[in-house]
Amino acid sequence: MTLGVLTPGQLRLGVNIDHVATVRNARGSAWPDPLRAALLAETAGADGITAHLREDRRHIRDADIEALMAGIAIPLNFECAATAEMQTLALRHRPHAVCLVPEKREERTTEGGLDVAGDHARLTDYVTPLREAGCRVSMFISHDPRQIEASARIGAAVVELHTGLYSDLLAAGHVALADRELALLRTGAERAASCGLEVHAGHGLTYENVEPIAAIPELAELNIGHFLVGEAIFRGLGPAIEEMRRRMNLARGPAA
Ligand code: PXP
């Protein structure tokens, strides 16, 4: 697999299918099927599929992870909290990547980044078997330099920078604050790359806000879910993904 090796200008799109499962679970039926969404995403040019198995199984379930591992040809980014249960599952399935995220039951989505600096010793022990099993370990963190450097120290291969605040500020019309947040994301991406980390970003990305993020040259991958699943209602999942890809390529310029 050549995924760790990027040519300059290339930016991968990981499609998060959690909210296909949210819709399915709303009726307690088997419909719509997250695997079918993942296969469609693959056909539409997604480079990977992301699925977050939350401790409360509110959207993706264990059987979905099994079906995705067996059914898709592109890499699976298995998102989870750093718990013993999730480590056992990750070691059983050995997905391409394991992205560790903070998780609180009461939150609606992943609200903040992981405190890698504050949980350094435990996370070092946590990621070691995952790395040994061949998974690319990714830390979902803020652009705080302490978190970036701690992620490198514990042996993560990847950091995913949290773009939620940037997207919230822009959506609320706080353009100057969003610009400041964007500048911090840029500096964070530079610092992460200089620490030898592969840099990803995600959360809250839409057609309206993706281009300044996609233009950050150190970024190798964006993970996008909620907006794409929503947009699929109006234009279909394949066209929704193709349009996101078009905007990402536009931001990268002719090299993309
Ligand atoms: N990256 C991570 C680590 C996430 O937790 C999420 C949300 O599940 C996303 C990306 C995608 O965010 P969104 O669904 O807002 O596009």
Q: Which domains does the chain have, with CATH numbers?
A: 12-252 (3.20.20.70)
Task: Write phi, then psi, for 211 (nearest 5 degrees).
Answer: -65, -45
Residue 114 CA to residue 27 CA, distance in Å, equals 32
Any catalytic annotation for residue 79?
yes
Ligand 1 centroid from CA 89, angstroms? 20
Secondary structure letter of residue 28 according to DSSP: T
Categorize the per-residue pLDDT at 10 as very low, low, confident or very high, splitting at 50, 70 and 90: confident
Residue 168 CA to residue 172 CA, distance in Å, equals 6
Closest among 100, 95, 89, 45 to 71, alpha carbons compared: 95
Q: In the chain, pLDDT over 90 holds for what percent of residues?
A: 90
Q: Which of 96, 203, 221, 231 is catalytic?
A: 203
Closest among 103, 102, 148, 153 to 128, alpha carbons compared: 153
Q: Is the pLDDT of residue 62 over 70?
A: yes
Question: Taking residues 190-211, what's their average pLDDT?
Answer: 98
Ligand 1 centroid from CA 144, angstroms? 18
Ligand 1 centroid from CA 254, angstroms? 28
The residue whose CA has the least distance to atom 6 of ligand 1 is: 203
The residue whose CA has the least distance to atom 5 of ligand 1 is: 110
Q: Hey, which residues does 137 pair with through a beta bridge? A: 98
Report which ligand 1 atom has the smallest distance to the Cα of 138. Answer: 3
Other Cβ atoms closer than 10 A to 28: 6
Task: List all residues whose CB is within 6 A of at least one atom of ligand 1.
Answer: 16, 18, 52, 79, 99, 101, 109-110, 140, 160, 202-205, 223-227
Q: Is the pLDDT of residue 191 over 60?
A: yes
Q: Which of 110, 140, 231 for a ligand 1 pocket mutation test, highest count of atoms within 8 Å of Cβ?
A: 110
* pTM of the model as a whole: 0.94
Categorize the per-residue pLDDT at 5 as very low, low, confident or very high, splitting at 50, 70 and 90: very low
Q: Is the pLDDT of residue 6 over 70?
A: no
Secondary structure letter of residue 104 according to DSSP: -
Ligand 1 centroid from CA 124, angstroms? 23
43 exposure class (CB count in 10 Å sphere: 0-12, 13-18, 19+): exposed
Residue 73 CA to residue 173 CA, distance in Å, equals 40
73 to each of 60, 77, 181, how far by Cα in Å?
19, 12, 36
pLDDT value, residue 253: 82
Where do runs of H (alpha helix) occur along the chain?
Answer: 18-26, 34-43, 62-71, 84-93, 120-132, 145-153, 164-171, 175-194, 210-214, 226-235, 237-252
Q: Which of 19, 42, 79, 231 is catalytic?
A: 79
Greater model confidence, 240 or 10: 240
Q: Is the pLDDT of residue 8 over 70?
A: no
